[in-house]
C-alpha cells in the first residue's frame, strides 16, 4: 500500500492543499480583504509570490478576492451575496455564478461600490502572469508531470483534477459548508456556521459563524475547544517580526467594516466584547 510513489504523490497533494489554503486565509482573506495586520512592502511581495506559487493554475488575484469577499460580508446570504449557498441546489452552480462575478473584478471589467474598493495588495505584473492561460496550462502540465513520474496506483490520478482548481475548491468548501453545516455560537441573522472544532482542512476558514460575528478579529476561534491554525501562524509571524498588529487588534473582537470606513483595523470602533 505505502509505496514510495504513493507517499510522494500524497505528500505532494497535501503540500499543495495546505500551501494554497494558507495563502488564501493568511494573505488573500485576513491581510488583503480585511487588513487585520500590516507588513512591509518586501514581505507583501514575498507572500504575493507565495500565493502565486501555491495556487499556481488557479491563482486568485487579491483585488478580485477582496472585493468579492467584502461584498459577501456586507450582503451576507441575500441575493446580492456573491457566494451564498442560499438559492443554489449544489456547490457547482454556486461557484459558476461566483466565478463570473470574480472575473469581472479580477480582470477589471466592472467597478465595485467605492466602499468595497482599495486597500488590497497589487502587483500588476504578477497578476498578468497568474491570470495568463499559458501559465495556467503550464502549471497543469507540471502537476500532471509529477503524477506521471510517481503515481503508481490508478486511483491516485483521481486527485489530479483537484490540483488544477485548488483555489476554487477551497472557496467552494468554505462558502458552501460554512454557510450550511455545523453549529452556531451566535445568531447573526444569517446562515453562517462553524463546521469543525479544529479546522485543519482550511486553516480556520470554516469558523464562518464566528467570523461573521467578529469580522475584524484575527482569531476565528472563540470558544475554548475551537482551534484556528491560521491565527496560530499569524501569532508566530508577529513574534518573528514579519507582520505588525497592535495588541488591541489582536485581542479585540471587532465587527466587520468595509476598509473605506477606517484606515486601520479597529480604528475608532469599539469591540463587541
| Complex with Zn ion: residue 147 or 220, whichever CB lies closer | 220
Q: Rounded to the nearest whole angstrom, what is the least distance from the CB of residue 11 to Zn ion in the complex?
A: 30
All cell numbers assigned to 109: 471589467
Q: Rounded to the nearest whole angstrom, what is the least distance from the CB of residue 133 to Zn ion in the complex?
A: 29
Task: Choose the binding region for Zn ion from 59-67, 109-117, 145-153, 207-215 (rule: CB under 5 A).
Answer: 207-215
What is the distance, to the nearest Å, from the Cα of residue 185 to the centroid of all Cα atoms in its chain?
22
CA distance 172 to 21: 12
Rounded to 10 degrees, the C-alpha dihedral 187/195/57/2 comes to 170
If one asks whether residue 219 binds Zn ion (CB under 5 A), the answer comes out as no
Across the chain, the runs of DSSP E, i.e. the strands, are none
Block residue for cell numbers 503524477: 147
Give the helix ranges, DSSP H, for 75-215.
91-106, 124-131, 133-150, 160-164, 166-172, 208-213
21 within 8 A of 170, measured Cβ to Cβ: yes
Task: Choose the binding region for Zn ion from 112-120, 154-162, 204-212, 234-242 (rule: CB under 5 A).
Answer: 204-212
Q: Rounded to the nearest whole angstrom, what is the least distance from the CB of residue 177 to Zn ion in the complex?
A: 10
If one asks whether residue 208 binds Zn ion (CB under 5 A), the answer comes out as yes
Task: Choose the binding region for Zn ion from 53-61, 116-124, 149-157, 208-216 (rule: CB under 5 A).
Answer: 208-216
If one asks whether residue 202 binds Zn ion (CB under 5 A), the answer comes out as no
Q: Rounded to the nearest whole angstrom, what is the least distance from the CB of residue 149 to Zn ion in the complex?
A: 38
Q: Rounded to the nearest whole angstrom, what is the least distance from the CB of residue 75 to Zn ion in the complex?
A: 11
Question: Which position's Cβ is nearest Zn ion?
Answer: 208
Question: 32: Cβ–Cβ under 8 A, 6 or more apart, which residues?
Answer: 62, 65, 66, 120, 121
Residues that bind Zn ion (CB under 5 A): 208
Amino acid at each position: 500500500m505505502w509505496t514510495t510513489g504513493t507517499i510522494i504523490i500524497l505528500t505532494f497533494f497535501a503540500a499543495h492543499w495546505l500551501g494554497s489554503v494558507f495563502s488564501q486565509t493568511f494573505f488573500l482573506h485576513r491581510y488583503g480583504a480585511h487588513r487585520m495586520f500590516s507588513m512591509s512592502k518586501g514581505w507583501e511581495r514575498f507572500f504575493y509570490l507565495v500565493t502565486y506559487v501555491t495556487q499556481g493554475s488557479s491563482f486568485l488575484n487579491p483585488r478580485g478576492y477582496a472585493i468579492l469577499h467584502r461584498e459577501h460580508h456586507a450582503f451576507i446570504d441575500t441575493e446580492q451575496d456573491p457566494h451564498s449557498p442560499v438559492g443554489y441546489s449544489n456547490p457547482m452552480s454556486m461557484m459558476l455564478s461566483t466565478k463570473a462575478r470574480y472575473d469581472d473584478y479580477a480582470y477589471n471589467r466592472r467597478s465595485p461600490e467605492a466602499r468595497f474598493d482599495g486597500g488590497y495588495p497589487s502587483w500588476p505584473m504578477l497578476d498578468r502572469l497568474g491570470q495568463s492561460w499559458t501559465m495556467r496550462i503550464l502549471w497543469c502540465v507540471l502537476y500532471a508531470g509529477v503524477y506521471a513520474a510517481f503515481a503508481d496506483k490508478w486511483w491516485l490520478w483521481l486527485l489530479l483534477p483537484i490540483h488544477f482548481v485548488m483555489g476554487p475548491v477551497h472557496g467552494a468548501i468554505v462558502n458552501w459548508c460554512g454557510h450550511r453545516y455545523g453549529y452556531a455560537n451566535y445568531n447573526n441573522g444569517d446562515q453562517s456556521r462553524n463546521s469543525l472544532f479544529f479546522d485543519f482542512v482550511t486553516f480556520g476558514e470554516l469558523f464562518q459563524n464566528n467570523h461573521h460575528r467578529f469580522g475584524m478579529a484575527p482569531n476565528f476561534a472563540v470558544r475554548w475547544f475551537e482551534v484556528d491554525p491560521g491565527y496560530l501562524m499569524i501569532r508566530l509571524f508577529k513574534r518573528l517580526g514579519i507582520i505588525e498588529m497592535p495588541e488591541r487588534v489582536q485581542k479585540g473582537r471587532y465587527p466587520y467594516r468595509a476598509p473605506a470606513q477606517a484606515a486601520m483595523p479597529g480604528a475608532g470602533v469599539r469591540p463587541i466584547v
